[in-house]
């Protein structure tokens, strides 16, 4: 049996998928979820092979939920109207269903997915899509992270500074630090450049947090933050900082 989960905040929208899936004896719906939080839990518990995922949902949207799944299953997106999502889908040729969708369209999608999933080396189309989606308006305003099994939503303006750590970035806020599997360059792109400066290969800092800049060894500088952290500043970083601060 193929296990599947439907994640959509509208009960009627879920009921359509349930109805359309009826003729498939090989596909079993193991859970129906109202939002991304429930979705995450259900994915963790049931390890489905396929999920139907709405984009606009309470608290965290479909893209944000997917970012938090370590090994995402195959995804068929369902959305009514979201210009940004449509662009992202089309650019990455991911299968999506536009609400309201017909039974025929639905069957075509399922058949395609079954045919594709039989091949051993199935391409994983989710990663590039998530990268594109992370530039969506909602996701430049907040960052969703998972910490000790809980989900935390960080409004970007609460970020004190960011530190690169291997394939991850540590996000420092007043509530502590959180890991996110993104690059520092990604944050450099989405954060407001008039407040966040890349002062070093491994650091982006909120300029409002800097209390002073001190010389460090010869030629080098460190920024001291309000919380007393000392962050190294590179030469190009120093130039950028001076430009933003107007000194």
Partner 1 sequence: MTFLACLITWIIVHVLILHSLKLQLQTAIWDSIISNCLLGAGCLLISNNLKYYLPKRQQFWYVLAFSLGITMLWLFMLNLIIMAWPAFTTDYTSFFLKSLPIRFAVGFIFIASIATTSVLWYAIEDQKESLRRKTETEKLAREAELYGLHQKLQPHFIFNSLNSISALAVSQPQKARQMIQQLSDFLRGILNKNENERILFSEELNHLQLYLEIEKVRFGHRLSSQIVSSETALQMTLPALLVQPIVENAIKFGLYDTTEAITISVSATDSDHMLTIKVQNPFDAETALHPQGTGFGLSSIHRRLQLLFGRSDLLQTLSEDGIFTTVLKIPQ
Instruction: Write out the residues near partner 1 by the rule CB under 8 A.
Output: 9-13, 15-16, 19, 34-35, 37-38, 56-59, 80-82, 98-100, 141-142, 153, 155
Query: In the complex, what is the shortest distance from the CB of residue 12 to partner 1, in angstroms, rounded to a whole number?
Result: 4
Phi, then psi, of 119 in degrees rounded to 5: -65, 140
> Which pair of structure tokens corresponds to residue 235?
């030469």
Query: In the complex, what is the shortest distance from the CB of residue 87 to partner 1, in angstroms, rounded to a whole number?
Result: 15
Strand order in the sheet with 196-200: 176-180, 168-173, 161-165, 203-206, 196-200
C-beta of 13 vs 132, nearer to partner 1: 13
> Which pair of structure tokens corresponds to residue 164?
């690169």
C-beta of 59 vs 186, nearer to partner 1: 59
Query: In the complex, what is the shortest distance from the CB of residue 230 to partner 1, in angstroms, rounded to a whole number?
Result: 31
DSSP labels, 176-211: EEEEESS-HHHHHHHS-TTTEEEEETTEEEEGGGEE
Neighbours of 91 (CB within 10 A): 12
Q: Residues 139, 63: contact at Cβ < 8 Å?
A: yes
C-beta of 57 vs 205, nearer to partner 1: 57
C-beta of 47 vs 135, nearer to partner 1: 135
Q: Residues 7, 40: contact at Cβ < 8 Å?
A: no
CA distance 184 to 225: 19
Query: In the complex, what is the shortest distance from the CB of residue 70 to partner 1, in angstroms, rounded to a whole number?
Result: 22
C-beta of 24 vs 84, nearer to partner 1: 84
Query: In the complex, what is the shortest distance from the CB of residue 239 to partner 1, in angstroms, rounded to a whole number?
Result: 33
DSSP 41: H
C-beta of 11 vs 246, nearer to partner 1: 11
**Angle at 93 (CA atoms; ends 185, 132), nearest 5 degrees:** 20
Query: In the complex, what is the shortest distance from the CB of residue 135 to partner 1, in angstroms, rounded to a whole number?
Result: 17
């Amino acid at each position: 049996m193929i296990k599947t989960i439907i994640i959509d905040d509208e009960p009627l929208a879920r009921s359509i998928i349930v109805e359309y899936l009826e003729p498939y004896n090989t596909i079993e719906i193991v859970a129906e979820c109202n939002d991304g939080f429930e979705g995450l839990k259900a994915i963790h518990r049931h390890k489905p092979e396929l999920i139907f995922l709405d984009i606009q949902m309470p608290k965290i949207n479909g893209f944000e939920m997917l970012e938090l799944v370590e090994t995402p299953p195959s995804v068929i997106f369902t959305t009514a109207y979201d210009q940004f999502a449509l662009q992202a889908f089309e650019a990455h040729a991911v299968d999506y269903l536009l609400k309201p969708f017909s039974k025929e369209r639905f069957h075509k999608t399922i058949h395609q997915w079954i045919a594709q999933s039989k091949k051993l080396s199935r391409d994983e189309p989710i990663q590039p899509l998530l990268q594109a989606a992370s530039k969506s308006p909602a996701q430049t305003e907040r960052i969703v992270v998972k910490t000790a099994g809980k989900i935390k939503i960080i409004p970007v303006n609460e970020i004190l500074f960011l530190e690169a750590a291997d394939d991850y970035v540590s996000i420092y806020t007043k509530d502590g630090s959180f890991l996110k599997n993104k690059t520092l360059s990604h944050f450099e792109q989405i954060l407001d450049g008039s407040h966040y400066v890349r002062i070093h290969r491994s650091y982006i800092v909120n300029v409002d947090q800097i209390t002073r800049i001190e010389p460090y060894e010869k030629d080098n500088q460190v920024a001291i933050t309000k919380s007393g952290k000392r962050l190294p500043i590179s030469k190009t970083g120093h130039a950028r900082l001076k430009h933003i601060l107007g000194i």
